[in-house]
Chain A
Amino acid sequence: MSSLVKCPHCGLRPKEEFTVRGEVATPRPDAGAEEAVWFDHVYLRDNPRGEHREYWHHSGGCRRWLVLSRNTLTHETSEVVDASTLKTGGAA
């Protein structure tokens, strides 16, 4: 779904209203985690060819952060949820 996004709050809206941040990577580590764990979180990505979970922000709408489950090869989106409902601390 890369032309239109079905925002759970606003309905089907054009892509132009959204800002993409990127992959839902590893969770934001605990404060005391090793530097290597932080490095992984900040820099490393799965970047799969296929199903991908990623952060989109409805910046021109409700201003909620969403998590899209989207296929990077077909651009089809299977699910859009409000990121806060995942309660994952920056990941899934």
Chain B
Amino acid sequence: MTGFRIDGGTLIDRNDVRRFSFNGEALSGFGGDTVASALLANGRQLVGRSFKYHRPRGILTAGAAEPNALLTIGRDGRRDPNTRATMAELFDGLEARSQNCWPNVNFDIGAANGLLGPLLGAGFYYKTFMWPAAFWEKVYEPLIRKAAGLGRASYDPDPGYYEKCWAHCDLLVIGAGAAGLAAALTAGRAGARVIIADEGAQLGGGLLAEGSPIGGKPADAVLADIVGELHALPNVEIKKRTTVFAAYDDQVFAAVERVQKHLPEGAINPHLAMERLWRIVARQVVLATGAEERPIVFGGNDRPGVMMAGAMRTYLNAYGVAPGKRVALFANNNQAYQTAMDLEARGVEVAAIIDPRTCPNIRYDGKARMIAGAMVRDTAGRKAIKSITVRHDDGRDEVIAVDALAVSGGYSPIVHLACHRGGKPAWSDEHVGFMPPENTDGMTPCGAVAGKIGIVDCFAAGGAAAVKALAELGVMGDAATLPGVAQGDATVDHVQPVWSVSSTKGKAFVDFQNDVAASDITLAMREGYDHVELAKRYTTNGMATDQGKTSNVNAIGILAENKGVSPGEIGTTTFRPFYTPVSFGALVGASKGMEFQPIRKSPLHGWAERHGARFVETGLWYRSSWFPKDGETFWRDSVDREVNTVRTKVGICDVSTLGKIEIFGADAAEFLNRVYCNAFLKLPIGKARYGIMLREDGFVYDDGTTSCLGENHYFMTTTTALAAGVLTHLEFCAQVLWPELDVRLASATDQWAQMAIAGPKSRDVLAKIIDEDLSNEAFPFLAAREVSMFGGRLKGRLFRISFSGELAYEIAVPAGYGDSVADAIMTAGEEFGIVPYGTEALGVMRIEKGHVTHAEINGTVTPADLGMGKMVSAKKDDFIGRVMNLREGLVDPNRPTLVGIKPKSASDKFATGSHILKPGDPVSLANDQGYVTSMCHSPTLGHAIGLALVKNGPSRHGEEVVIWNGLAGTTVTGILCDPAFVDPENEKLHA
């Protein structure tokens, strides 16, 4: 069948012919078409298959609620699965394919499922597939998964660019139908900052489908005037193709703008977003989202060619597409009659109007045959509707040949956004629908969402809603009016609820996409799943990609009818974000790939790069981990060389990523004394001290050194990982716990480039660039002060501290000087054989020395666990963590405590994360003695060494244990020992 395009169509441009393909077949449409309207114009009624029974399905709606016409559009990285044909704009070269059918949409093997219908009722899978137990994963589930799903996701990278923005306004108008446009116009004229958003490609909503003149003017001309004025108002921002999809706390609304989804690949501007996420902060909101027309639940109501009456009118008036040549209307309300009248006006035969009502309120003066008090009980036709069976009020059946059927079962206000923040919609017998909640603070529903009918009433309601919203903002405004239109009494419809046709023959669908039939809902009730949420979950009604936009209220109606109560007593399921599905791409914006998280680079990054550093991600940082030299192919070659060089000569390491905090104030010493568990009150000027910071629960939080650089001035270093956390913690202490203390904190992490210079020759190297006496007497271990460098040209901070266990210093210079100072140190150290070393070598040396890091400080250890129990002051009457640190469980002698561990046989290796067992003990959790926290190959000792937390550790030095790595299937005999493998007497430090 072809030739469904007729005259007219306010949205299409017949001079703009667009070619596209559908399942490989070449077709064409016009600019302004949706894929759905173009398919219908080409006589394609069958577009997809349903989920469970693979029934042939056509196009049901003309908008966002479409449950059936889901297509995969595009290819490769631009493939969009599950795209609603009713929302996708047609562009030249568009490729569309049906989903969920094999081998093709016309002949689908899966349709055999339909024969098993009675077996596959609601929840059938909960009652079977249980035996034998292993069969679920091995047999049943793979079969189910093979049939599951709709479209296929692309594995190819998406070439599209995405972005996110904030927007702020006085009034957000959601929906640009008659009500929304009037609201925007009213507020715009009053000078308010207005954003009006609509999901459609054009503003207008229902106005776009209006066939009758308004105030003597064609509807499209009226619309053009309004849109023209809105465009001219500088304080009104118009967002087309923008779906407001969620309402969050504090009037924050999420919207997605489809910026370039309607363009052919060649026309896409790579510098513009494909989609844009808007986070809109609105002082007031006018909700003008309209109403969704409801299907009627009768036998064969899913056959291609059965379409919502309003959708049919849209295709007719906006796209110039006739849905068929001989159409019937099945409706229970007056508004739907507009479709019949417009069909007739456009020369399409209306075979019959079937209306279950007998009331005298039916107002129709067209030519079609009226069948009142009747229902459609069945349809026929294989891949498209051929006839309907009408049950007359006298019980007689009549078959009427049609090639399309318009259906209207009433209207459900689109209340989603009014309910996302927990509001419950209220049932209205008058409107036969769930209305927006009573209390929608800051949001005024108007137009069809509030039960208004027709362009004129909706326009007036929009103006009034805006006046009300403006008043909340203290702005006066006059409601916009439609020129030439006198406001009459409010239009009233007389919808007669029809939740399901009782005389139904064949499957009567409630949820089309999920193939939930009326009989499934009643079965769920029979089995006790009669709460609306249970019925939904048991039958999957409303859980498809359309989220029940066309099915939920009918399901509620069926439950209510069967229970003999009002739908209001049944209530709705919860309205949750999102109103319509939103792509990951839009929600992610630019934060993808390497931009997933920001990258932090040390001031010495470039210097390290020049020396060939290999970098490793450490949180957000890139840290230099080792510096391979020519001929070194294995990372450990480099690391061993770096360690050996530091231990025998000298090396330089970038430690700029350590957290650095400047602390000032008359009470700074008192403050430090309270936040560290060891004493800090009497730290003299010019001295550094190692400190352990506990959490209030008594466990170790972080460690580091703090130096007193002057009166009331301290400089704290933290670990890289907890730089931000420690500052936040200190700020809490200073601002909340002890606001009376005079103390000021400032992060200085990024302000300083800091280098460790370690090794027996470190003093000799630094002496060449630092102007002051560095002798042991003048600058002893733990000295810390500002020093003059390069003959007074630069000031730096020098600390004699050591993580490696060698004679070592750390020098900090302003970040911008870091690169050249590091170069100068390399030059100065050349004669001593200096090498740069990275975090790997640093890690090896700290293990050799028995120093701990966050591998040991894992949030569950006490200072005593780390062998530093004596550091916890017994004299101070208060510090963070003092009391909780004394709890029974924290002083239990059985706690795992730090020890060194080495293999009994020097050639054996073991892994961090291995557990410790006693030799001969059965392998079990109960026999677990502890675990290896860190390990490395020690080039200094020539074998593997490690640190471990072992029950009663310190008393077990020398004990033979099993190092158990079940994951790798290895066991190694180890010996527990002192954790200080190198220089336990600290001679090097003080050299």
Contacts and interface: CB of A to CB of B under 8 A. Distances in A.
Interface string B245-282: 00011101000000000000000000000000001010
Interface of A: 1-4, 14, 19, 21, 28-29, 31-33, 35, 38-39, 41-43, 55, 57, 59, 63-65, 74-75, 82-84, 87-90
A53 to B, nearest CB: 12
Nearest to B888: A35
Interface centre among B724, B877, B883, B886 (most CB of A within 10 A): B883
Contacts of A39: 884
Contacts of A89: 736-738
Interface stretch (B502-510, B727-735, B849-857): B727-735
B735 A84 contact: yes
Given A3-B248, A42-B697, A87 B739 contact: yes
17 contacts: A1-B249, A1-B250, A3-B249, A4-B281, A14-B166, A14-B279, A31-B878, A35-B884, A42-B696, A43-B697, A55-B736, A57-B728, A57-B732, A59-B724, A64-B735, A75-B249, A84-B739
Interface string B734-776: 0111111000000000000000000000000000000000000
B887 interface: yes
Nearest to B876: A31
A92 B709 CA distance: 36
A49 B401 CA distance: 61
Given A1-B249, A42-B884, A87 B877 contact: no
Interface string B33-70: 00000000000000000000000000000000000000
Contacts of A65: 731-732, 735-736
Given A4-B281, A19-B728, A42-B696, A35 B250 contact: no
B883 A21 contact: no
Contacts of A28: 696, 737
Nearest to A43: B697
Contact of B249 (A2, A19, A41, A42): A2
Given A42-B884, A87-B740, A4 B250 contact: yes
B887 A35 contact: yes
Interface in B359-382: none
Interface string B615-629: 000000000000000
B703 to A, nearest CB: 21
Contacts of B882: 31
B740 A38 contact: no
Given A57-B732, A65-B736, A84-B736, 11 more contacts: A1-B250, A3-B249, A4-B252, A19-B728, A32-B877, A35-B887, A43-B697, A64-B731, A74-B422, A83-B736, A87-B740
A2 B250 contact: yes
- 9 A-B pairs closest in CB distance: A31-B878, A84-B739, A3-B252, A3-B250, A38-B883, A4-B250, A3-B249, A2-B249, A31-B877
Contacts of B738: 89
Nearest to A90: B737
Nearest to A73: B422
A33 B877 CA distance: 11
Contact of A63 (B696, B731, B737, B740): B731
**B-side interface size class:** 20 to 34
B236 to A, nearest CB: 23
A28 B675 CA distance: 14
A55 B735 CA distance: 11
A38 B736 CA distance: 17
A4 B250 CA distance: 6
Contact of B883 (A35, A55, A74, A88): A35
A57 B732 CA distance: 8
A11 B185 CA distance: 30
B732 A21 contact: yes
Contacts of B728: 19, 57, 59
A14 B249 CA distance: 11
A21 B728 CA distance: 10
Contacts of A35: 883-884, 886-887
Nearest to A5: B250
Contacts of A87: 739-740
Nearest to B745: A63
A59 B723 CA distance: 13
Contacts of B737: 28, 89-90
Contacts of A74: 422
Contacts of A1: 249-250
A69 to B, nearest CB: 15
Contacts of A4: 249-250, 252, 281
B747 to A, nearest CB: 9
B732 A55 contact: yes
B947 to A, nearest CB: 29
Contacts of A21: 732
Contacts of B883: 29, 33, 35, 38
A35 B888 CA distance: 11
A90 B248 CA distance: 31
B179 to A, nearest CB: 26
A2 B735 CA distance: 23
B146 to A, nearest CB: 42
A83 B393 CA distance: 74
Contacts of B878: 31
B253 to A, nearest CB: 10
Contacts of B731: 57, 63-65
A59 B728 CA distance: 8
A82 B724 CA distance: 20
A2 B724 CA distance: 23
A78 B702 CA distance: 36
B279 to A, nearest CB: 8
A29 B883 CA distance: 10
Interface string B160-179: 00000010000000000000
A1 B736 CA distance: 22
A3 B282 CA distance: 12
Nearest to B166: A14
Interface string B669-713: 000000000000000000000000000110000000000000000
Interface in B871-899: 877-878, 882-884, 886-887
Contacts of A14: 166, 279
A33 B882 CA distance: 11
Nearest to B737: A90
B693 to A, nearest CB: 16
Nearest to A74: B422
Contacts of B887: 35
A63 B736 CA distance: 12
Contacts of A38: 883-884
A35 B696 CA distance: 12
Contacts of B697: 42-43
A28 B735 CA distance: 13
Contacts of B422: 74
Interface in B504-537: none
Contacts of B740: 87
A41 B166 CA distance: 40
A14 B166 CA distance: 10
Contacts of A82: 735
B165 to A, nearest CB: 13
Nearest to B739: A84
A34 B735 CA distance: 25
A42 B740 CA distance: 22
A1 B877 CA distance: 40
A19 B737 CA distance: 17
Nearest to A4: B250
Given A38-B884, A59-B728, A83 B250 contact: no
A64 B250 CA distance: 22
A49 B702 CA distance: 35
B94 to A, nearest CB: 38
Nearest to A88: B736
Nearest to B674: A31
A50 to B, nearest CB: 14
Nearest to B747: A63
A68 to B, nearest CB: 12
